[in-house]
Amino acid sequence: MLTPALEAEYRAALRGALATGTALLAQGAPALDAVEATVRTLEDCPLFNAGRGAVFTHEGHHEMDAALMDGATRRAGAVAGVRAVQNPIRAARLVMEQTEHVLLAYPGADELAREHGLPMQPLEYFFTQQRFDQLQEAIAAGRVQLDHAASPPSAIDPNWKKGTVGAVARDQHGNLAAATSTGGMTNKRYSRIGDTPIIGAGTWADTRCAISCTGHGEFFMRAVVGYDVACLMEYKGLSLAEACRVVVHDKLAPVGGEGGLIAVDADGNVALPFNSEGMYRASRNAAGEELVAIY
């Protein structure tokens, strides 16, 4: 349903994000730096449901979640419900490096970011007309709206399907990292938090694999998706591709868990499975082969 012009915008944004991360890796940067920088570029792009393009809550503001994890050390940081931080993924890294905690929520997470001088933005910065219109439609329909939904419950613009952003990487030393950021679901209420900032659910990295998820968070939390992929590789000896297939298609899909994930293993193998109508994705391997795809 995308117009050619809009599809070109998405592909350009994906290529730009991919170039950001791969350039850092080529310079010898650690995987953690690469995934954080990549996610920051996507947070700054209004095409995606994270940072500047975050969806509206029922009350008409934005509550953003983010997490990142270093596979070599299993250190992790996450924030939930932040409202004013320009780049929630930077706040997540602050939690990991400047506190003794893993997950901080609003308002404390915003306070930490402000104390450490992270860029903060007013509500207007996060406003996009399409997202506001989407909120009005969702309120009229009386439900929350997931970006990946194949059949919108009302006249929500079907071309405006944008989801959680994430990045996974393997660096020159073989270390892995994952980062994820999201605005959540349109019309969400009661400070709802999804799988993105839950380590092991929407975000995971160890010495075996790095995983970043996008989809219906409640299902991804109950399935502990990120950690389940790692466990299938460790305990059953499955390959990255097979472990991802089992989780996304055999476990999530039958119970209505719509979405997908991006993954990389210690050997540099990449998996990008999804059971939804589409998933914006891009990858580059050690041989320099690139993939940019939507459907």
Question: How does pLDDT run across 174-200, given as a tens digit for each residue?
Answer: 999 999 999 999 999 999 999 999 999
**Nearest-angstrom CA–CA distance, 221 and 198:** 8
Scan for tokens 């097979």, then name that residue. Answer: 242
Query: Could you report the per-residue pLDDT of 48-107, keeping only the tens digit for each?
Result: 999 999 999 999 999 999 999 999 999 999 999 999 999 999 999 999 999 999 999 999
Active site residue 164: yes
Q: Can you list the domains of the chain with their CATH numbers?
A: 4-293 (3.60.20.30)
Point out the catalytic residue in the list 38, 41, 57, 164: 164
Is the model's pLDDT at 249 over the cut of 70?
yes
| Contact criterion met (CB below 8 Å) for 34 and 21 | yes
Does position 160 have pLDDT exceeding 60, yes or no?
no
